[in-house]
Chain A
Amino acid sequence: MKEKVSERVNWPVTILLILGCVTIFFPLYMAVIIAFKQPSEMTNDVAGALAFPSHWSLSNFAQAMEVTDFWHSLGNSLLITVITVVLALLIHGIAGYAIGRSMGESKGYKLVYYYIVSGMFVPFAILMMPLVKQTAQMGIANRVGVVILYLVFYMPINLLLYTGYLKNIPMALEEAANVDGATTWYMYWQIIFPMMKPMHATVAVLTALAVWNDVMTPLVIMGGTEMNTLPLAQLNFQTQFGTNYNLAFASYLLALLPILIFYLICQKQIIGGVASGAVK
Chain B
Amino acid sequence: MWFDQASPDDLNYLAQYGVWGGVPAIPVCLPGLGRYGRYQFDRYLLLQKNDLTIAQRRELVFLADYFHKIDHFEFFELTADANERDIKKAFFRFSKRFHPDAVRELNLGPFAEHVRLVFEYGQQARDLLLDDQAFKDAYARVTKARDLAYHSKLQAERERQHQKVAEARSKGIKPPKSMRVGATPTPLPQNQRSQAEIDERKSLLRERLAQNQGRRQAHEQSKQSADLKSQAKTFFMAGEQAEARGQVSRALNHFKLCVEYMPKEQKYIEALKRIEAKVAEDRASKLWQEADSLYKSEDSIQKQAALDLFKEACALSPSERRLVAFTQYSLEFELVEDLIPILQKTQQKEPFNIEYMWLLCQCFELSKSLSDTQKYMEMILGLDPSEPRALRLKKRYRF
A, B bound:
no
- Chain B interface residues (CB < 8 Å from chain A): none
